[in-house]
Amino acid sequence: MEKIAGKNYTVIGKVEGINKGTNFYNTTIGTEEGLHLNVKLDNNEVGLQIGKVYQFKVVGVQKDEEVILVNESFDLIENVVDDAELDRLLKVFYQYAPLGLLEIKKEIESFLRKIKNKIIRDVTKKIYENNKKEFFLHPAATKFHHAYFGGLSYHTLTMLKMVDPFITIYPYLNSDLLYAGVILHDMAKIDEISGVDGEYTKEGQLLGHLVMGTIDLDRVAKELGYEDSEEVLMLKHLIISHHGQLNFGSAKKPQTGEALLLWFLDTIDSKFTVLGEQLELIEQGSFTPNIAVLDKARFYKDKIKK
């Protein structure tokens, strides 16, 4: 990159390091072209995080015998680029979900539109819209399963795809509750976990996403005037019980058919996704290492031709 004094540049890059002292404050960013650029920052500028991707507006400034890049403004890419460009950049800078952001978003919103009950649809859509930006970027966990950018929404979509076959076989199940329950069940992980390679927040440690999600649902239901409805009560039960057992973090065990299925779908996807990832790493005719989410069991990859 040729640096010219007085020229303005727009640069997108991942923050690789931040160096700050009494008389200096700068960051090193890596671009998709493989460049590693040093950008000078104002001491009053805060908010940069290592590992995040930003769009920087910088200007070339002559200093002694070289031209340096001085920051004028910066913002997270998800705030400044459209969905198509964000989809592309996420794949460049991060390990993203097996499906792209646009495809995951399109499919999840198709299930949201299938909800016929007005109360369930209104509440679910409101919570979804409130969290939509972070929902497609966040991991589903800090480790174990779907611990990558987009993992939360990809986990949600995989579960949604399993709902319809069960409804076909067991028609007494309420499809609206299941679609909504799947979309909402882990939404509070956005505030429970600080991000990929991040940590649990204070609220995440003290409350957890089941309680946090139920509190958020209660707040939105009151805003919409639905707080005393049967639908909201059933949605609360779905969220508060979706870990199934008290020793797994559930405040209640599932006591409706939909809650029982939500727990099973969550368990299936979290375990089978990790199993598939481990099987991909080994040769046929061998065993996986101990897998934590599967009771530390080892699984065999057969040599049978498909």
Report pLDDT digits (tens) over 164-221. Answer: 999 999 999 999 999 999 999 999 999 998 765 667 889 989 999 999 999 999 999 9
Do 153 and 131 have their domain in common? yes
The residue type found at 212 is: M
Calculate the alpha carbon distances from 63 to 97, 165, 250 in Å.
43, 66, 60
Closest by Cα among 103, 137, 5 to 58: 5
Do 98 and 247 have their domain in common? yes
Report pLDDT digits (tens) over 229-274. Answer: 999 999 999 999 999 998 888 899 999 999 999 999 999 999 999 9
Q: Tell me the pLDDT of the chain averaged across its residues.
A: 91
**What CATH number should be reported for the domain holding residue 40?**
2.40.50.140
The residue type found at 85 is: E
Do 68 and 205 have their domain in common? no
pLDDT grade for 130, boundaries at 50, 70 and 90: very high
Task: Please list the residues that pair with 173 across neighbouring strands.
Answer: none
Closest by Cα among 296, 299, 295 to 278: 299
pLDDT score for 99: 85
The domain in which residue 45 lies consists of 8-79
Please state the length of the chain. 306
Last residue of a domain, one of 29, 45, 79: 79
Report pLDDT digits (tens) over 288-300. Answer: 999 998 999 999 9
Do 63 and 118 have their domain in common? no
> How far is it, in rounded angstroms, from Cα 221 to Cα 214?
10
Calculate the alpha carbon distances from 13 to 82, 87, 139 in Å.
16, 15, 21
pLDDT score for 196: 58
The residue type found at 282 is: I
Count structural domains, the chain.
2
- Tell me the Cα Rg of the chain: 23
pLDDT score for 287: 97
Whether 141 contacts 92, CB under 8 Å: no
